[in-house]
Structure 1
């Protein structure tokens, strides 16, 4: 294989046929159907812990956050304002972003000259993949990041075909938006840049539009960089914490690669594999060879960096589009043979798999008959049954608070972990509970209780009491919460104390209490 940066935008051994039109109506109909279908589980899952945190974070305005950008908390805040307490409304933006990724898959196929059939196959591959089901089921940084990454790469592919430098400025704008979602986009850009340097088209690196886009991206990063610098760069520490959590819950790098492959689904996996194979060997795809290099680099970064398997998700709509177009390679008989032999069975089986997933999940919590003992157990339980226990936790805290004489009721609640804090803050509105604070993860950077608050209601693992006794002059247990086969750190192994007389002023005590790890007691 020869890497040739000077290769033309499209180079064939035979005359290319007229460019097909974009199957606009069919693609958008397919995206709408997939989005509607994948939205069904959003009606059944209880809130995930991070979703509650996003709502809480949206109520605390900031230039950025310790663990993410500003966009998802803002979206969560707006959704909760429109429909307070509605999980489906909160997840609607995730469903829309998933549908957009379906359209991008088709758009990539169109840019490469794919027929309407190829466009629809690419779109369907994403729409019926486990990845899409994961993306749509909850509001998350991943639900936006995957689609924005795919849009960015689609713009690059379109630039290769058209050489319209306005597209490179748009790349910078999309990257700037994605940076407000999560901070993984610089890694994506570095992988793409390495791919272009190695495989071309290197002409891209000298285009004025690219540098205008880079300036837009750099300017968008300044507020977040300033905030991180002011707060000791928690984002860097968070990457290590997430890596450790991924190893504990997902089995480490050796297990991550099969999980990546599994997210593509049957149809998508075959298309992605065919895309990578075709990029390596087909001359007409040489202008897009950077995708092969960038994909390999990204997989290596995720595996060696102990990242999550969905970190590669933004490349998949693009690979699905490339694979769908590369199947026929403008040779009708070859395509017809492949289509007749495997296409319909593969699409049919893929539909069966995704339908079974959507219909079966989440399972009823009444079918849970075992305790959660490890991080892997926790991840499996959440995937199959969803999260639960928020109402148990909030009701127990409210009961303990109300049983105190009115004159002794503290003016603040501290929760040990950020999920607890977010749940009590969101659901505690119905109980008239005081403001909630937590030293855990991003919640800790919202700040400590006011200096004049001496007594607090503390909610945490029942093993936390010795630590509290070193931090407060008086610690008295009020209640416990232990739901059989419940969620550790949510409605199992939970204790509630009233703590008086902090040993140091809150601004001095708070930094020692702050912790980026999620304490679940497992």
Structure 2
């Protein structure tokens, strides 16, 4: 709403902005899942609003506030670097605000953010820069022509197709409308970061925080153009998102969701189904094993779920940050292996005990996975750990 105020939106335009953004698919999904992207979206939007406010009201000290917000955001997700780059390039491109680069305030803001980021960078250096390994895996998965087309298509859809029409109109108005020349910085930033993510192979939801101001601009334009119908238009826009909520948010019973077309829309929501059943199946396997048994999983989702629901044995995984809780003690054996083919990993004496199945017939990463019981690693845990750890998305 604050950016809508900067655009000169009256109460109707501000309320429309708040309702449309809050009901959008990506905001609902990220708010429910509480991932790093949740706070990343907030950080991007807040920085863009603060910087625009600093420029419009000539309040240079707001740059320092923006720097603090960016510093917090950098410690949550490194993608804020692209936002800061976008702001720098946008200022250089905008003849109205270009002179601010000759003042100390944007640079002090960047310095504040960088200083706050130092502990994170030190940790990265001490651990071999895992962010670069993970970024390379993401770029490999989402690179190429197909990945770039997917980024554009998903950017169109992540708020809702109808909301895309609104924020696209907002983008156009910001770039062309003389009234909004002083507040068009977020439009430039969006264009810059979109190009960067197309080149580097990013994901569409990285853009969510940069799209929010464009959506505010579009809602302001709608409220000005059709003031007597703004409420009805807001309802239609919200409804266009609500019909997609079940694809990303658990608003349907699991059985209803599993029998619908929604699982084919999103890869992540199906991964929230079936964990109590999967954990019970692993627990049944562990029950017959010695007390020194451990569970080793192929990804952190499996590791987290089995630890949360309890499977009767300590849970380890080499995936991403879960590696920091390993390796198991060298004497830990036997090992229940889930999410790995023991023939391709460093385990010996493996026997399949069961197969994971959820009770909804829903196809996700765990459905149909074999559960193995192995004598132990091929050597000590400490000696094979380097081959069991992996960074990937």
Q: The TM-score by the shorter chain falls in which range?
A: 0.7 to 0.9
Q: Is the partner of 1:479 in helix, strand or coil?
A: strand
Alpha-carbon deviation of 1:260?
A: 0.9
Instruction: Check 1:363–1:416 CA distance in 2 against 1; reply closer, same or farther (3 A cut).
Output: same
Q: Is the partner of 1:264 in helix, strand or coil?
A: coil
Alpha-carbon deviation of 1:232?
A: 1.9
Which residue is 1:305 aligned to?
200
Which residue is 2:287 aligned to?
402
Q: Does the 8 Å contact 2:67/2:109 carry over to 1?
A: yes
Alpha-carbon deviation of 1:238?
A: 0.8
Alpha-carbon deviation of 1:415?
A: 1.4
- d(CA) in 1 for partners of 2:381 and 2:22? 50
> Which one of 223, 233, 238 corresponds to residue 351 of structure 1?
238
What do you get for the CA RMSD once the two structures are aligned?
A: 3.0
In the alignment of these two chains, the number of paired residues is: 388
Alpha-carbon deviation of 1:235?
A: 0.8
- d(CA) in 2 for partners of 1:489 and 1:125? 33
Q: Does the 8 Å contact 1:473/1:503 carry over to 2?
A: yes
- d(CA) in 1 for partners of 2:179 and 2:131? 41
- d(CA) in 1 for partners of 2:168 and 2:368? 44
Which residue is 1:366 aligned to?
255
2:108 is equivalent to residue 229 of structure 1: no
Q: Is the partner of 1:495 in helix, strand or coil?
A: strand
> Which one of 323, 328, 334 corresponds to residue 449 of structure 1?
328
Counting only pairs closer than 5 Å after superposition, residues 68-467 of structure 1 correspond to structure 2 as: 106-200=1-95, 201-246=97-142, 252-265=147-160, 268-326=163-221, 335=224, 338-340=226-228, 343-358=230-245, 362-367=251-256, 368=258, 380=266, 382-383=268-269, 387-404=272-289, 408-428=290-310, 433-451=312-330, 453-461=331-339, 464-467=341-344
- d(CA) in 1 for partners of 2:246 and 2:281? 33
Q: Does the 8 Å contact 2:139/2:201 carry over to 1?
A: yes
Q: Is the partner of 1:117 in helix, strand or coil?
A: helix
> Which one of 363, 386, 392 corresponds to residue 511 of structure 1?
386
- d(CA) in 2 for partners of 1:219 and 1:499? 49
- d(CA) in 2 for partners of 1:314 and 1:197? 21
- d(CA) in 1 for partners of 2:304 and 2:265? 20
- d(CA) in 2 for partners of 1:165 and 1:419? 44
Q: Does the 8 Å contact 1:416/1:458 carry over to 2?
A: no
Instruction: Check 1:378–1:517 CA distance in 2 against 1; reply closer, same or farther (3 A cut).
Output: farther
Normalised by the length of structure 1, the TM-score is 0.67
Which residue is 2:369 aligned to?
493
Alpha-carbon deviation of 1:256?
A: 2.3
Alpha-carbon deviation of 1:363?
A: 4.1
- d(CA) in 2 for partners of 1:317 and 1:517? 29
Q: Does the 8 Å contact 1:425/1:436 carry over to 2?
A: yes
Q: Structure 1 unaligned runs (5+)?
A: 1-105, 329-334
Alpha-carbon deviation of 1:267?
A: 5.9
Alpha-carbon deviation of 1:169?
A: 0.6
Normalised by the length of structure 2, the TM-score is 0.87
Instruction: Check 1:380–1:283 CA distance in 2 against 1; reply closer, same or farther (3 A cut).
Output: closer
Which residue is 1:30 aligned to?
none
Q: Does the 8 Å contact 2:316/2:322 carry over to 1?
A: yes
Q: Deviations over 1:5-28 (max 9, x none)?
A: xxxxxxxxxxxxxxxxxxxxxxxx
- d(CA) in 2 for partners of 1:474 and 1:287? 69
Instruction: Check 1:382–1:162 CA distance in 2 against 1; reply closer, same or farther (3 A cut).
Output: closer
Instruction: Check 1:219–1:446 CA distance in 2 against 1; reply closer, same or farther (3 A cut).
Output: farther
Q: Deviations over 1:472-506 (max 9, x none)?
A: 45334443334473444424222131323x33332
Alpha-carbon deviation of 1:171?
A: 0.7
Q: Is the partner of 1:315 in helix, strand or coil?
A: helix
- d(CA) in 2 for partners of 1:159 and 1:179? 21
